Amino acid sequence: MSINRAAAVEYARAHREAFLQELSEFLALPSISTDPAHKEDIQHTAEWVADRLRRLGAQDVAIMPTEGHPVVYGFLPGASADAPTVLLYGHYDVQPPDPLDLWESPPFEATVRGDNLYARGAADMKGQIIAVLSAIEALHESGGVPVNIKFLIEGEEEIGSPHLTPFLKQHREMLSCDFSLNVDSGVLAPDLPTITYALRGLAAFELRVSGPAQDLHSGIFGGVVHNAANALAELIAGMHDKEGRITLPGFYDKVRPLDEEERAELARLPMGEDFWLAQTGAPALYGEPEFTPLERATLRPTLDVNGIQSGYTGKGTKTVIPSKAVAKISCRLAPDQDPEEVHQQLRRYLEENAPPTIRWELDYLAGAYPVITDRHSPWMQALVDAMQRVWNKRPLFKPEGATVPIVGFMQRILGVDSVMAGFILPDANLHAPNEKLHLPTWYRGIETFVHYFVNLVENK
Cβ-contact 137, 144 below 8 angstroms: no
Nearer to a copy of itself, 3 or 102 (CB): 102
For residue 308, state whether it binds a copy of itself (rule: CB under 8 A). yes
For residue 140, state whether it binds a copy of itself (rule: CB under 8 A). no
* Contacting residue, 107, 322, 399, 445, with a copy of itself by CB under 8 A: 322
**What is residue 240's DSSP assignment?**
B
Cβ-contact 436, 117 below 8 angstroms: yes
For residue 289, state whether it binds a copy of itself (rule: CB under 8 A). no
Nearer to a copy of itself, 429 or 448 (CB): 429
For residue 152, state whether it binds a copy of itself (rule: CB under 8 A). no
Q: Shortest gap between Cβ of 43 and a copy of itself (angstroms)? A: 18
Q: Shortest gap between Cβ of 278 and a copy of itself (angstroms)? A: 10
* Contacting residue, 233, 255, 258, 372, with a copy of itself by CB under 8 A: 233
Segment 409 to 438, residues that bind a copy of itself, using CB under 8 A: 426, 429-433
Residue 36 backbone phi and psi in degrees, to 5: -55, -25
In whole angstroms, give the CA distance from residue 293 to residue 349.
27
Nearer to a copy of itself, 106 or 238 (CB): 238
Nearer to a copy of itself, 244 or 249 (CB): 244
SS3 156: coil
* Contacting residue, 161, 310, 345, 418, with a copy of itself by CB under 8 A: 310
Cβ-contact 161, 410 below 8 angstroms: no
**How far is CA 142 from each of CA 8, 287, 289, 322, rounded to the nearest angstrom?**
5, 51, 53, 65
x/- mask, a copy of itself, residues 12-51, rule CB under 8 A, reads ---------------------xxxx---------------
* Contacting residue, 62, 174, 189, 285, with a copy of itself by CB under 8 A: 285
In whole angstroms, give the CA distance from residue 416 to residue 421.
16
For residue 237, state whether it binds a copy of itself (rule: CB under 8 A). yes
For residue 257, state whether it binds a copy of itself (rule: CB under 8 A). no
Neighbour-count burial for 390-406, b at 16+ CB within 10 Å, e otherwise: bbeeebbbbbbbbbbbb
For residue 255, state whether it binds a copy of itself (rule: CB under 8 A). no
Nearer to a copy of itself, 386 or 404 (CB): 404
x/- mask, a copy of itself, residues 154-193, rule CB under 8 A, reads -----xx---------------------------------
Find the distance separating the first CA and the last CA of the chain, reported in whole Å. 12
β-pairing, 194-199 vs 396-400, is: parallel
For residue 212, state whether it binds a copy of itself (rule: CB under 8 A). yes
Longest dimension (CA), the chain: 83
For residue 230, state whether it binds a copy of itself (rule: CB under 8 A). yes
* Contacting residue, 165, 279, 344, 377, with a copy of itself by CB under 8 A: 279
Please identify, among the stretches 11-19, 113-121, 251-259, 307-315, the one whose residues bind a copy of itself according to the rule CB under 8 A. 307-315
Cβ-contact 266, 399 below 8 angstroms: yes
* Contacting residue, 177, 366, 407, 421, with a copy of itself by CB under 8 A: 366
Cβ-contact 381, 450 below 8 angstroms: no
Sign of the Cα torsion 191, 195, 196, 197 reads negative
Segment 48 to 77, residues that bind a copy of itself, using CB under 8 A: none
CB atoms closer than 10 angstroms to residue 337 = 23
Please identify, among the stretches 77-85, 106-114, 136-144, 400-408, the one whose residues bind a copy of itself according to the rule CB under 8 A. 400-408
H or E, element range at 57: none
Please identify, among the stretches 114-122, 165-173, 294-302, 413-421, the one whose residues bind a copy of itself according to the rule CB under 8 A. 294-302
Number of residues that this document lists for the chain: 460
Report the candidate in 137, 150, 12, 5 with the shortest Cα–Cα distance to residue 442.
Answer: 12
For residue 391, state whether it binds a copy of itself (rule: CB under 8 A). no
In whole angstroms, give the CA distance from residue 87 to residue 148.
9
In whole angstroms, give the CA distance from residue 78 to residue 324.
58
Instruction: Assign residue 458 a region (left: φ > 0; alpha: ψ between -120 and 50; beta: otherwise).
Output: alpha
For residue 222, state whether it binds a copy of itself (rule: CB under 8 A). yes
Please identify, among the stretches 46-54, 143-151, 276-284, 450-458, the one whose residues bind a copy of itself according to the rule CB under 8 A. 276-284
